[in-house]
């Protein structure tokens, strides 16, 4: 894989790095804007497609790309003493440098992060990711066993909240931990439905509704409106 770097200048003058990667075995150009601590655009293109063609494709998608960055919230650092909503509960985040492990209080309302201050956010992120997998498994296990994935992967994507591969791997954005639990459950059921239908046909949506139950449209609407807010922290 070869990677070239360019700059995308937004209409308001922000310069965003663009990383163009040539990959074997793909047929289409794909764009992935990243709105994390470092704002970047990643482009994957077929091996024989020129960079200039990939950049022209980016320009054609300018309105969409600028919309992604424009809707992204200003990133806020998490500091000891802050409260975050995680899996539907308000949790006070604390720091104890003398503690080697990361622990919840017995009532689950305080999360104490151990280790040095320079690792505070990273260790907090790791705790949330680990808990996310546990919560996702609980939701998955409410579905028929034949739909269970072979593997669960946790990612930090901006363009999608989940994906399901033909090999049986289901991937989720761990940032769903900051969403209401019924919204996280909607994404889980969405991807579980793909285990039966690898498309977005009427049969697929019927399966999503069957797995989720009443309120699926409300959860879907919340994610469409508020999804960008889940990238505010970490």
Q: Which of 71, 100, 123 is the last residue of a domain?
A: 71
Q: Which of 12, 44, 71 is the last residue of a domain?
A: 71
Strand blocks (E) in 88-233: 89-96, 103-104, 110-114, 151-155, 162-164, 169-173
54 lies in the same domain as 110: no
Residue 229 CB-half CA count within 13 A = 10
54: containing domain: 2-71
With 90 as the cut, is the pLDDT of residue 234 above it? no
**Average pLDDT of every residue of the chain:** 91
With 80 as the cut, is the pLDDT of residue 2 above it? no
Q: CA-CA distance, 161 to 192, in Å (whole number)?
A: 13
With 90 as the cut, is the pLDDT of residue 202 above it? yes
Q: CA-CA distance, 47 to 41, in Å (whole number)?
A: 18
Q: What count of other Cβ atoms lies within 10 Å of the Cβ of residue 11?
A: 9
pLDDT band at 82 (very low <50, low <70, confident <90, very high): very high
Which residues on neighbouring strands pair with residue 233, listed in sequence order? 76
> What is the full DSSP assignment across 93-132?
EEEETT-SS-EE-TTSSEEEEES-GGGHHHHHHHHHHHHH
11 lies in the same domain as 110: no
Is the residue at 78 inside a domain?
no
CATH of the domain at 140: 3.30.2010.10
Predicted confidence (pLDDT) per residue in 122-141, tens digit: 999 999 999 999 999 999 99
153 lies in the same domain as 98: yes
- For residue 1, the model assigns a pLDDT of 66
89 lies in the same domain as 183: yes
Which two structure tokens, joined as six digits, stand for 228?
């960008």
127 lies in the same domain as 14: no
CATH of the domain at 16: 3.30.2010
Is the residue at 166 inside a domain?
yes
Residues 97/117, Cβ–Cβ less than 8 Å: yes
- For residue 35, the model assigns a pLDDT of 78
Strands 103-104 and 110-114, by their bridges, are antiparallel
87 lies in the same domain as 66: no
Is the residue at 77 inside a domain?
no
Burial class (CB in 10 A: 0-12, 13-18, 19+), 208: buried
pLDDT band at 159 (very low <50, low <70, confident <90, very high): low
164 lies in the same domain as 184: yes
What's the structural domain count of the chain? 2
152 lies in the same domain as 96: yes
With 70 as the cut, is the pLDDT of residue 84 above it? yes
Predicted confidence (pLDDT) per residue in 13-64, tens digit: 888 999 999 988 888 999 988 876 678 899 999 988 999 999 999 999 999 9
Q: How much is the average pLDDT of 155-172?
A: 87
- For residue 3, the model assigns a pLDDT of 83
Distance (Å) of CA 98 to CA 91, 101, 103, 112, 149 = 21, 9, 13, 11, 39
């Amino acid at each position: 894989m070869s990677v070239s770097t360019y700059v995308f200048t937004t209409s308001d003058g922000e310069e965003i790095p663009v990383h163009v990667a040539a990959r074997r075995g793909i047929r289409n150009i794909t764009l992935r804007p990243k709105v994390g601590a470092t704002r970047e655009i990643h482009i994957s293109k077929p091996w024989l497609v020129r960079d200039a063609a990939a950049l022209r494709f980016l320009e054609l998608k300018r309105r969409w790309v600028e919309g992604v960055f424009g809707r992204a919230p200003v990133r806020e650092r998490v500091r000891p003493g802050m409260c975050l909503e995680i899996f539907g509960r308000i949790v006070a985040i604390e720091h104890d440098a003398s503690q080697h492990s990361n622990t919840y209080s017995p009532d689950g309302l305080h999360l104490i992060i151990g280790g040095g201050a320079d690792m505070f956010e990273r260790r907090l992120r790791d705790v949330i990711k680990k808990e996310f997998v546990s919560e996702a498994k609980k939701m998955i296990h409410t579905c028929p066993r034949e739909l269970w994935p072979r593997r669960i992967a946790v990612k930090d994507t901006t363009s999608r909240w989940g994906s399901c591969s033909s090999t049986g791997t289901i991937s989720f954005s761990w940032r769903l931990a900051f969403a209401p639990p019924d919204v996280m459950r909607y994404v889980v059921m969405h991807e579980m439905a793909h285990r039966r239908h690898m498309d977005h046909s009427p049969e697929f949506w019927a399966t999503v509704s069957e797995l989720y139950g009443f309120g699926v449209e409300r959860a879907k609407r919340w994610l469409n409106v508020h999804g960008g807010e889940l990238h505010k922290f970490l």
